[in-house]
């Protein structure tokens, strides 16, 4: 399995794990609200219920973010070769491995640190369409594309 395949697989699993965790939290809050509603009345009950609903909204917002990231990752075909940088490219620039996908945490695979960045990010948007050997500058830092996978 190539580094690009491993990277994509790892990020897909990471996003799925987070989705599962947030969905579990929403389910727990929903269950807690249902149980609380059975035995409580009055202002304290209303305040607690309101707080639970706010927490649920926050969690649902996070779930929506992870669903967007998951959708981006699902669009990537790791077997699609491209000489130019596109969504799904694993790029080596200045010795740094960059995965053009969604903004996700830095990971290490096979001893290589990989930074996932969105094509809409400042670095991602400038890199799109570039080829091996091309140089570009972002925020005063100069980059040279060494490899594209």
pLDDT, tens digit only, all 149 positions of the chain = 999 999 999 999 999 999 999 999 999 888 877 676 555 556 666 777 788 888 989 999 999 999 999 999 999 999 988 999 999 999 999 999 999 999 999 999 999 999 999 999 999 999 999 999 999 999 999 999 999 99
Residue 121 backbone phi and psi in degrees, to 5? -70, 160
Q: Which of 71, 84, 82 is nearest to 118 (CA)?
A: 71
Please, what's the largest Cα pairwise distance for the chain?
A: 69
Q: How far apart are CA 32 and CA 26, in angstroms?
A: 10
């Amino acid at each position: 399995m190539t580094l690009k395949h491993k990277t994509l697989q790892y990020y897909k699993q990471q996003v799925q794990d987070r989705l599962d965790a947030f969905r579990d939290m929403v389910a727990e809050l929903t269950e807690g609200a249902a149980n609380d509603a059975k035995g409580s009345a009055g202002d304290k009950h209303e305040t607690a219920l309101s707080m639970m609903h706010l927490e649920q909204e926050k969690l649902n917002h996070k779930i929506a973010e992870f669903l967007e990231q998951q959708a981006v990752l699902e669009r990537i075909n790791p077997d699609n070769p491209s000489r130019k940088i596109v969504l799904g490219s694993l790029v080596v620039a200045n010795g740094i491995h960059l995965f053009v996908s969604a903004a996700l945490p830095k990971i290490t695979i096979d001893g290589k640190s990989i930074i996932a960045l969105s094509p809409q990010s400042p670095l991602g948007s400038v890199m799109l369409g570039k080829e091996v050997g091309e140089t570009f500058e972002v925020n005063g830092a100069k980059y040279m594309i060494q490899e594209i996978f």
